[in-house]
Homo-oligomer: A and B are copies of this chain.
């Protein structure tokens, strides 16, 4: 039996996570889910977005399934739950897969997930505020290895996206990436973050495994979703050496919360990535989703009229039909 922590969050988080759990349960009975609370509501009660006790329990789990939370940005001292979890659990590799479900193509992004501008809180003074973009040797090495291994598995290459013409940290990161890739016999192409924007719009499928620093990865991965039809279908895995967390990359979308029309596919494919991570059959979920998308009614974000529940049921019946 695998033990999976579930943090549904708020907004559409609970709706899409429920869908993902239904799908997982239709594939395997080897997972038990344990629900945990977290986010701004918890912060208001205890001054931290998740309790120490819960974190301790979660560390013992095999994986985490995460929905979405709303992060208010004008509350002093509040750090978003997902950033806290990535940091606390040292989930250093954020793998985002932007699929074109109709043709099987994918944009693959490996975002460093614990350092850069997210490494620590900035400092505010009366006349200025400073954030720190920190790239460590250890941090750069482990993420470079993660991406390079993935490129090997996929018979692909690395596109390292950086701003080394301005940033010391990216010059440092770049040396490490080039060195490890050479040793491992993996090709590295380079792109500067600004002009990469244009390439990602115009030739999205040509970049092998995209490797980049935390904030650049945040920006690139949202942009890449324009090729997926909707950000609502894009899954991700946040991997550490001990545990991994899976979440759709979309946010909590408070405007459509409770209406039953959130796109569950991002959460469902995140669950598929989780099944793969646990050594269970994630492939069947990917394949069922691809099939369903080909003919099925989709949610409004994809131009359809389906509800969250209809899409979920549709994918589950595809799974049963295998």
Binding site for B on A (CB under 8 A): 71-74, 80, 83, 117-118, 121-124, 126-138, 163-174, 193-195, 197-198, 201-202, 215, 218-219, 221-223, 225-226, 231, 251
Contacts and interface: CB of A to CB of B under 8 A. Distances in A.
What is the copy number of this chain in the assembly? 2
A315 B222 CA distance: 39
Contacts of A223: 197-198, 201, 223
Q: Which of A121, A135, A167, A225 has the most CB of B within 10 A?
A: A167
Contact of A122 (B169, B194, B198): B169
A174 B73 CA distance: 10
B136 A128 contact: yes
Contacts of A138: 127
B225 A198 contact: yes
A133 to B, nearest CB: 4
Contacts of A133: 117, 122, 130-133
A125 to B, nearest CB: 9
Contacts of A123: 168
A166 B198 contact: no
A121 B166 CA distance: 8
A198 B215 contact: no
B118 A166 contact: yes
A92 to B, nearest CB: 15
A173 B195 CA distance: 26
A171 B222 contact: no
Given A198-B225, A219-B193, A222-B197, A168 B122 contact: yes
A217 to B, nearest CB: 10
B128 A167 contact: no
27 contacts: A72-B165, A73-B164, A73-B170, A74-B164, A117-B133, A118-B166, A122-B133, A124-B168, A124-B172, A127-B138, A128-B134, A128-B135, A129-B134, A129-B169, A129-B172, A131-B168, A131-B169, A133-B133, A163-B215, A163-B218, A194-B222, A195-B222, A197-B197, A197-B222, A197-B226, A201-B226, A202-B226
Nearest to A224: B197
A179 to B, nearest CB: 13
Contacts of A193: 218-219
A202 B222 CA distance: 13
Q: Which of A72, A122, A136, A174 has the most CB of B within 10 A?
A: A122
Q: Which of A71, A133, A221, A226 has the most CB of B within 10 A?
A: A133
Contact of A219 (B83, B137, B197): B197
Contact of A130 (B71, B128, B134, B201): B134
